[in-house]
Amino acid sequence: MKKSTALICLLGPNVILWVGILFILLTQSACTNGIINYEEGCFADPLPNANCFKEATVISNTCATGLWGDKWLQLEDGTILQPFSTVDGFSVPQSLQEGAKVKIGYVDTFRDGRYDKQVTCLAIPPYEADAVIKINCFEMVTK
């Protein structure tokens, strides 16, 4: 008996199931290894309150849109973040005051068109986002 025939006999009628499982494991590996793949839409989506690891200041970005309208976040190193969404089931305050200090956790995400029809004015916003983010942890910083 040939080795290939013996293998097929060993796997029996479930060979298609095993090939399917192997295919899924190989094609989904980029998403499960924490690799962000913008072309495939693979983004890590950790549980809410996973880890508030960055401090930021709320800035006003006139004519911009996002989770808090024209309120975006600036990290201590100057990086500008556009909060775009939250992890499913996670809630954040409805609004933020400019200058407020917050501590956040986030993952990179992509713009999905949810704010496309929100035109606030015709001017170009003064800031361009260095990253579009999905919030998974949020705390107000008290002085």
| Residue 80: closest CA among 97, 92, 95, 66 | 66
pTM for the full predicted model: 0.63
Q: Count CB-CB contacts under 10 A for residue 40.
A: 12
Q: What pLDDT score was predicted for residue 124?
A: 72
- Per DSSP (E only), the strands in 31-141 are 54-60, 71-75, 80-86, 101-108, 131-140
Residue 13 DSSP class: G
Q: What pLDDT score was predicted for residue 29?
A: 43
Q: What pLDDT score was predicted for residue 36?
A: 45
Q: What pLDDT score was predicted for residue 113?
A: 78
Strand 54-60 and strand 80-86: the pairing is unpaired
SS3 80: strand
Q: What pLDDT score was predicted for residue 100?
A: 95
- Kindly report the backbone phi and psi dihedral angles of residue 86, in degrees, each rounded to the nearest multiple of 5, phi listed first: -125, 160
Q: What pLDDT score was predicted for residue 30?
A: 44
What gap in Å lies between CA 136 and CA 99, rounded to an integer? 21
**pLDDT tens, residue order, the chain (143 aa):** 555 555 555 556 666 665 655 455 555 544 444 444 444 445 555 555 567 889 999 999 888 888 898 899 999 999 999 999 888 777 788 889 999 999 999 988 888 877 777 666 767 777 788 999 999 889 999 86
What gap in Å lies between CA 125 and CA 67, rounded to an integer? 16
